Amino acid sequence: MENARLNKELAEWVELNPVLCWGYRKADGRFVASPPEFGKAEFDGFDIDDTEQSWCFLHPDYRRYVEIPDFANSLDACFEHLVPMLREKALSLRLITYVDGRCRCDIESGHGTIPDIFVLGETPALALCKAIKELKDKRGAGKLDELH
């Protein structure tokens, strides 16, 4: 559950504007979401027993709601959505995996506008997410607008 909260916070940070949607999981694990205004009622009359709620965002290409990325478990999702925001603010990122399996993420500004951040995590994606959350928390609102 902690990862779900972290994923939602990071989705807000990159302005995906997550909303809570009802839906169900397909056999391949994908979440089929109902627009929030329809709620759970959209699935009435279908043979779907396992509806659940998940955080979703309105996908700009498909004009449908899709589940927010699982940043804490997907380095691909991190590099697609989170890393561009760091680059936009001229922050450097270093991911290190140690022999014992632990991972470390360093975020540095190079020009002293933020304190350098060093965070350990069980996976590279989780280390990166925790580092961005720490950066966001240190900067207050979390948009990093003050950095240039």
- Condensed to tens digits (0 to 9), the pLDDT of residues 47-96 reads 566 778 889 998 887 678 889 999 999 999 999 999 998 888 878 888 88
d(CA 68, CA 108): 27
User: Considering the chain, what percentage of its residues have pLDDT values greater than 70?
Assistant: 81
Q: Where are the domains of the chain?
A: 19-67, 72-138
Does the predicted TM-score (pTM) go above 0.95?
no
- Residue 129's pLDDT is 92
Q: Report the amino acid identity of residue 67.
A: E
Beta-bridge mates of residue 54: 21
Average per-residue pLDDT for the chain: 81
Residue predicted with more confidence, 85 or 142? 85
Over 90: is that where the pLDDT of 26 sits? no
Task: Tell the burial category of 148 from Cβ atoms under 10 Å away from its Cβ (0-12, 13-18, 19+).
Answer: exposed
pLDDT recorded at residue 119 = 86
Q: Is the CATH number 1.20.120 carried by domain 72-138?
A: no
pLDDT of 148 above 50: no
Is the distance from CB of 54 to CB of 31 less than 8 angstroms? yes
Question: Of all residues in the chain, what percent are helix, strand and coil, respectively (each to 5)?
Answer: 35, 25, 40
Dist CA 33 CA 48 (whole Å): 13
Residue 113 has pLDDT above 60, yes or no: no
Determine the 3-state secondary structure of 54 from DSSP.
strand
- What is the pairing mode between strands 64-67 and 19-25? unpaired
